[in-house]
Chain A
């Protein structure tokens, strides 16, 4: 038997060379605080020279919807759902202490006074830094969100295989 033996050190070096430094984020949540964490990680990673891909699904799709967008779904249930479930990066509620909007408004004011970027600004910054944004087609359909109501700059509409193809190369994969 003459099996090829791979030196561990060489293998490690090779792996380091071929493995791109990439980050993938699954953004399922549409809460302001969670979206903020996602974007801070995304912009930080992009600033560190890493390749960043964000996958938006379920409530996370609200972050990349145009504000005040309605649904163009054919059936009344999805249309009603798309209408009640308002989108827009400026309309996201806090996951806690939303208090019918009062808590979220106060938090936004505190952030503004402290020169902290809001979700809309973080989103724009991410796009400037080359963060790739992908919207999940299954949940778009399920929630009655049509693709023309998504913001400009969403790179592609895709599914789980696209996510996995990116994530398997990634060194950081987060679910938010």
Chain B
């Protein structure tokens, strides 16, 4: 379990919504805080590290929670 300060639920949303919602949410955090982004779009596994690389925020990691219907991906980003 990766500890998070703020959580963002993007379940049910497709690309590019998780990234757009993340870019809006991250503004509410102070540097050093960790944001957890929950998504069921598998694209987030690659998209979130790429977003971090471009924006300069720190990529912390990813957790997968396999469910009966779909897997939930939790991406963790530390605000720079």
By secondary structure, the B interface counts as helix
- Considering the chains assembled together, what is the distance between the CA atoms of A159 and B75 in angstroms? 42
B20 touches A115 (CB 8 A): no
Q: Nearest chain B CB to A42's CB is how many angstroms away?
A: 9
Interfacial residues of chain B within 1-23, with CB under 8 A of chain A in the complex: 12-17, 19-20, 22-23
Does B51 sit at the interface, judged by CB under 8 A? yes
Which residues of chain A are near B15, meaning CB under 8 Å?
40, 44
Is A48 touching B55 in the complex (CB atoms < 8 A)? yes
Q: For this complex, into which size category does the number of interface residues on chain B fall?
A: 10 to 19
Q: Which residues from chain B contact A104 at a C-beta distance below 8 Å?
A: none
**Contacts A44-B19, A44-B20, A129-B20 known; A50 to B13 CB distance under 8 Å?**
no
Q: How far is the CA of A155 from the CA of B51 in the complex (A)?
A: 27
Which residues 11-55 of A have a CB within 8 angstroms of B?
Answer: 21, 40, 43-44, 46-50
Q: How far is the CA of A44 from the CA of B18 in the complex (A)?
A: 10
A47, B14: Cβ atoms closer than 8 Å: no
User: In angstroms, how far is the closest chain B Cβ from the Cβ of A174?
Assistant: 15
CA distance A97 to B64 in the complex (A): 37
Q: Chain B residues in contact with chain A, CB under 8 A?
A: 12-17, 19-20, 22-23, 50-51, 54-55
